Structure 1
Amino acid sequence: MAAQTQNPRFAIDGRMLDRPGTGVATYAMALDDALHRLGRRVERIVDPSCGRPMRRAPIADRWLRWADAAIDRPRILKARQTEAGRRLWGRDLFRLAQVHFDLHGTLLELRSNGDPGVVHWTYPLPIRLDGWVNVYTVHDAIPMLHPELSQIDALRHRALLDAIAARADHLITVSDAARDDIVATLGCPSDRVSACPPGLEGVKPDAPLPPGLEAGRFLLAVGSVEPRKNLARLVQAWRRSCVPYPLVIAGPDGWRASEILPALEGVPGLIRMPYVERPVLLAMIASARALLFPTLAEGFGLPIIEAMQAGTPVLTSRGGATEEVAGGAALLADPHSVEDLATAIARLESETLLDRLRSAGLDRARHFTLNAFAARLDALHRRLEVA
């Protein structure tokens, strides 16, 4: 690892910062917040795309990017001081890096003036900052282990992770279950991968519920309509449970949604909300009788913690990261079994059970605050001898 000064520089990629709405973006913002809570000197690595909606580039821009990436050379970052803080700026960094990897199979090298420091890449980006300690977050191994549940190209993603693992100073991930999967899948030394679960800032909702919803009288599922979220099976289980509460599914159409939507349409008592503003979603999570999160595969499962922080009981999948994150404070069910899910949903009529889950969830949620995340991050930096 690069030698560090007494007060080393820290940097974080700005690709997903200020783009709320996804688990990866939420993680990136939590990491940025945790670094600041630790008193780190944090600089953002940015290009003009940061903070803008993600759109497909025009054809001319894509051709120029391929021509630029064909030349395998380091790119220079320029330091800029702005009102929002210090920025390390480069032209077209993040898209260029992907094209560079497709052409060369290697990471795009960046260079910056001044003393080196520690850079956190919040996602497996094919970029490396020369002379710095490069720490990459790999959220899970789902594209390789369950390619049927992910739209990510499994072969390319595996090649990318192999290239990153070969050059990274350290990999971090979001749960012990994800860490075990990554080590087993990549075959990298276990001491080079650490679990550092993220934290969330508990927010008290200040928005009203959508019309027709009554606090404590609806069940809630959140997430994109895609195979991994297991919504078709959830709907079957909810109907079989015969509970008297409507099921609200809040989330946009995702990958292969057209295959799932027919199972969600025209079902009595089922309410679909493709778009919900964040304050309203938080109010729904806090007011639901329970959050239902029977996902088929996760690296972590942020909705579990969002619900627990709000005092909402949780039903989630048995096994893997979701059971680990729930930590004994949620109702568990086999996500592949309609019968098991239906039995668990029916148990949510018990007020005694709900009271127990609320109390246990609030206790468990204390492990996933931003301060707790910052403490885990500080311990990681000390193990890596960079703080």
Structure 2
Amino acid sequence: MLNDGGAGTGVGQYARTVIAALQAVDQRILVLGDGGPTEHRSRNAKWLAASRPWSRVASISNQGFHARDIFREAQIFFSIYKRPMPIRLPGVPGIMHWSYPLPLQAIGWRNLYTVHDVMPLDPAIPSPVNGPRLHAMLDALCTAGADFVTVSESARVQITARMGWPIDTVTTCHQAIDVTGAVHDVLPDGLRRGNYLLYVGAVEARKNLLRLLDAYSVSGITTPLVISGPDGLDAAIVDARIRATPGAIRLGLQTRETVLQLITGARALVLVSLAEGFGLPVAEAMALGTPVLSADVSALAEVGGGATLLVDPLNLMAIRKGLIAIDGDSVLRDRLSALGLKRARYFALEPYARRLLKLYGMA
């Protein structure tokens, strides 16, 4: 069983690929949902409902399990009691694969929590997530007997180090990618296929966009640099720099289909983040045959597996050199494209399903 992932987010995409991979090998999947909107209840009524100290009980249908407002209630419950909120699920106990850390625990089930990264625990990395609360929640889940999985070996090392846990507390299971739906269609804003460099992701500080824009500005490249993604921390500052950078184009949050279309049509994908837990755009670009220029941070290098052009994200001239190389060298791009397609096979749904079954102790 899996909990709902946020639509349109990396976590949402993670949940969808877990479901798709398990369905591909004929595993039965039940999803835990929050039972629909609760706007008609007052704020006080919602808080009183969340403060009940006993366990919750979910209902079941053909679509899965439902418990009204369960995810929001769990957050309030944790704030009050400093422990995960227990929930009872109908039927025979199985594996509850939480797609991200939540202060919830399925009674009698094996509770397996995906921790994508612990960047909020690093004070040097700006994050909208409350780091001390995340630390307390992970410790509470661990005390309650939870198992943990993450999406890269790099993330595993960082998680256990930040939490002070033994390394075997967390298991690595590289996530999958699913690029079905990629089409060759009309691109947004009059972009021409093969004639733009592309960044995909949140517009925020840890993505190193200011340094990328500076490197692009001094590179002499005339190929447009397209930045596509939702506002994150410091988005206004990045937007101002984009407007001041000739050749840079800002697109907002796009549909999943448009993102895949943008990646497919790009001359190269550029991701020079200061930190990542996995780096989903890199894996997706490789699967679509798009060359990749990425930071040499450990997770991105791990995902790239030797099939990407790596640069030091703190060195503006190194980023500039990488941009010039991947923009102007078609032989390099062809080589990276071929290597990327080969590397991306590892992240396909079928091998991922095998990794999941091994993780669950079913293989």
Report the TM-score, using the length of structure 1 for normalisation. 0.89
d(CA) in 1 for partners of 2:39, 2:257: 34
- Residues 96-245 of structure 1 aligned to structure 2 (within 5 Å): 96-146=73-123, 148-203=125-180, 204-245=182-223
Q: Distance in 2 between matches of 1:211 and 1:256?
A: 24
Q: Which amino acid in structure 1 is aligned with residue 284 of structure 2?
A: E
Q: Does 1:380 align with 2:322?
A: no
Q: CA deviation at 1:155?
A: 0.8
Contact 2:126 2:233 in 1 (8 A): no
For 2:42 and 2:106, the matched residues in 1 are separated by 25
2:341 is aligned with 1:362: yes
Q: 1:37 to 1:317 in 2, by over 3 A?
A: same
SS of 1:372 mapped into structure 2: helix
Moved more, 351-360 or 138-147: 138-147
Provide the residue aligned with 1:44 in structure 2: 31
Query: How far apart in 2 are the matches of 1:71 and 1:266?
Result: 53
Pairwise CA distance, 1:118: 0.9
The answer for the alignment partner of 1:7 in structure 2 is: none
Tell me, what secondary structure is at the counterpart of 1:178? helix
In structure 2, the residue matched to 1:254 is 232
Change (3 A) 1:122 1:168: farther
Superposition RMSD in Å: 1.8
Q: Which amino acid aligns with 2:2?
A: I
Q: Are 2:49 and 1:72 aligned? A: no
Matches of 1:22 and 1:164, distance apart in 2: 24
Shift of 1:60: 5.7
Instruction: Output one character per residue of 1:96-150: Cα deviation in whole Å (capped at 9) or x when no partner.
Output: 0000001111100011233211111101010000111111100001000245321
Unpaired runs of 5+ residues, structure 2, are none
- Find the aligned partners of 1:43 and 1:376 in 2 and give their Cα distance: 19
Structure 1: tracts of 5 or more residues without a match: 1-10
Q: In structure 2, which of residues 252, 263, 266 is the aligned counterpart of residue 285 of structure 1? A: 263
Query: In percent, how many aligned pairs have the same letter?
Result: 39
Structure 1 range deviating more: 186-195 or 307-316: 186-195
Q: Tell me the distance in 1 between the aligned counterparts of 2:108 and 2:350.
A: 30
CA shift in 2, pair 1:162/1:59, >3 Å: farther
Secondary structure at 1:303 match in 2: helix
Give the 3 Å change call, closer, same or farther, for CA 71–277 of structure 1 in structure 2: closer
In 2: Cα distance, 1:61 partner to 1:331 partner? 53
Q: Deviations over 1:237-294 (max 9, x none)?
A: 1111112211111112222212322211132111111143332322221111110000
Could you tell me whether the CA contact under 8 Å between 1:136 and 1:171 is conserved in 2? yes
Shift of 1:194: 0.6
- Aligned residues of 1:140 and 1:182 also touching (Cα < 8 A): yes
Q: Which residue of 2 aligns with 1:315?
A: 293
Partner SS for 1:150: coil
**1:77: Cα distance to partner?**
1.3
Structure 1 residues 157-215: Cα deviation after superposition (integer angstroms, max 9, x where no partner) = 11111111222441000000000111111122322311111111233324322243222
Number of residue equivalences: 361
Aligned to 1:331: 309
Distance verdict in 2 for CA 1:107–1:321, change over 3 Å = same
How far apart in 1 are the matches of 2:253 and 2:73? 32
